[in-house]
Amino acid sequence: MIRIPYHRPTIGDAEFEYVRQALVSGRLSGDGAFTKRCQAILESQTGTGRALLTHSGTAALELAALLGELKPGDEVIMPSYTFTSTANAFVLRGAVPVFVDIRPDTLNLDENLIEEAVTSRTRAIVPAHYAGVGCAMDTIVAIAKRHELIVVEDAAQALGSTYRGRSLGTFGQLGIISFHETKTVVCGEGGALLINDPSMAERAEIIREKGTNRSAFFRGMVDRYTWVDVGSSFLPSDILAAVLLGQLESADELTLRRHTLWNRYHTGFEELEAAGLVRRPAIPDVCEHNAHIYWLLLPSVDVRRQVIDQLQAAGIQAVFHYVPLHSSPAGRRFGRYDAPLPVTDDASDRILRLPMWAELGDAVDEVIDRVSAAVRLAVASD
């Protein structure tokens, strides 16, 4: 029986009240009043020029790939250590993911390896901000400018995080955020596209509205709406937006509570790291993170398996993370990589993610104690 799950969403009274209001309004489909309020908050919080809600972070990535006009044979540089959606959005356009290794400190795309992966077919760079910690965006943007590439930031885990004081998701032409139930701010399933290049804003609305100029029609800019471009149904229901509004209004409090837990974890495992038994996350000085994930690197995949089993026996759910895309069946089929990815392979084998949710409270101390004991026992028997 799981007593301490890996994740549990925190839902407040405001979410229930806003859903009630949405239902009473009779306006349940996309782009209603709650959608617009959420978009306004996102624009204010992040500083992006335009935020558009989508029904998932995956959908926001697919919308970004359409806006970037990716074509068959184009290449997109990205980390292998990321979720499948990062690659799938571009594979759906016929583009080829080119996988690059990650940094050992942040597990983010290694900015020093990007330029050597650029070819005449490269069209985009897609950095993913792992655990809400920013990639080296100044270097990445500079490389993109030199080679006339677009940058699409996968900031799925990074709402509320900054790099050099600027919100993640706002450095590239486009950025995406996820509101999946495992994130800090949730609505079950949901996402947002952040549009930082004003020239893309109008077409983004059209593609998001099934290829029609419906949004312009409702603003009185055209006398009727019609099919004008490719598109699909990327809008979330306004009921989901109602849930999200309550979450966005509580985002600062939720993030603060997670930071308290993250810091307790970090202090609690200081001794274990000093003994050489784990490695804790390293946060660069230029990054302010949102405490989305607390992870440890254990000595080996066998030690990790033993630790997970011991925690599960104690009712604590701890998990590993991505199987690297470059070694997956679809990654080998649709993507490529030109050099070994040793940091990616090593991190994937050794990473352990610990329970993290706003109401975890003092249970964090039990997790620390159980993990520490399990690691010591597993290392001794390995």
DSSP 164-184: TTEETTSSSSEEEEE--TTSS
Regarding whether 265 and 208 lie in a shared domain, the answer is: no
Residue 142 CA to residue 5 CA, distance in Å, equals: 41
Regarding whether 203 and 271 lie in a shared domain, the answer is: no
Average pLDDT, the chain: 96
Residue 333 inside a domain? The answer is yes
Examine the fold and report which residue of 233, 249, 265 is the final residue of a domain before the chain moves on.
249
User: In 320-334, which positions are buried (b, 16+ CB within 10 angstroms) versus exposed (e)?
Assistant: bbbebbbebeebeeb
Regarding whether 170 and 30 lie in a shared domain, the answer is: yes
Closest CA to 5 of 317, 261, 319, 309: 317
Please answer whether residues 78 and 216 qualify as being in contact, where contact means their C-beta atoms are separated by less than 8 angstroms. Answer: no
Residue 21 CA to residue 84 CA, distance in Å, equals: 36
Regarding whether 110 and 171 lie in a shared domain, the answer is: yes
Residue 15 CA to residue 244 CA, distance in Å, equals: 7
Regarding whether 264 and 223 lie in a shared domain, the answer is: no
Please answer whether residues 63 and 55 qualify as being in contact, where contact means their C-beta atoms are separated by less than 8 angstroms. Answer: no
For the stretch 224-274, pLDDT in tens is 889 999 999 999 999 999 999 999 999 999 999 999 999 999 999 999 999
* Domain, as residue range, for 241: 13-249
Residue 63 CA to residue 290 CA, distance in Å, equals: 25
Regarding whether 134 and 260 lie in a shared domain, the answer is: no
Any idea what the Cα angle at residue 162 is, between residues 190 and 56, rounded to 5°?
10
Q: Which of helix, strand or coil describes residue 44?
A: helix
The number of angstroms, rounded, from the C-alpha of 233 to the middle of its chain's C-alpha atoms is 21
Closest CA to 268 of 355, 369, 354: 369
**What does pTM read for this prediction?**
0.96
CB-based burial label for 239 (10 Å; 0-12, 13-18, 19+): buried
Number of domains into which the chain is organized: 2
Residue 134 CA to residue 15 CA, distance in Å, equals: 29
Q: Which one-letter DSSP state was computed for residue 348?
A: H
HSE (CB half, 13 Å, CA atoms) of 98? 20
Residue 342 inside a domain? The answer is yes
Regarding whether 367 and 286 lie in a shared domain, the answer is: yes
Regarding whether 278 and 235 lie in a shared domain, the answer is: no
Residue 4 inside a domain? The answer is no
Examine the fold and report which residue of 249, 270, 297 is the final residue of a domain before the chain moves on.
249
Residue 1 inside a domain? The answer is no
pLDDT in tens, the chain (382 residues): 899 999 999 999 999 999 999 999 998 999 999 999 999 999 999 999 999 999 999 999 999 999 999 999 999 999 999 999 999 999 999 999 999 999 999 999 999 999 999 999 999 999 999 999 999 999 999 999 999 999 999 999 999 999 999 999 999 999 999 999 999 999 999 999 999 999 999 999 999 999 998 777 677 777 788 999 999 999 999 999 999 999 999 999 999 999 999 999 999 999 999 999 999 999 999 999 999 999 999 999 999 999 999 999 999 999 999 999 999 999 999 999 999 999 999 999 999 999 999 999 999 999 999 999 999 999 998 7
Examine the fold and report which residue of 214, 249, 284 is the final residue of a domain before the chain moves on.
249
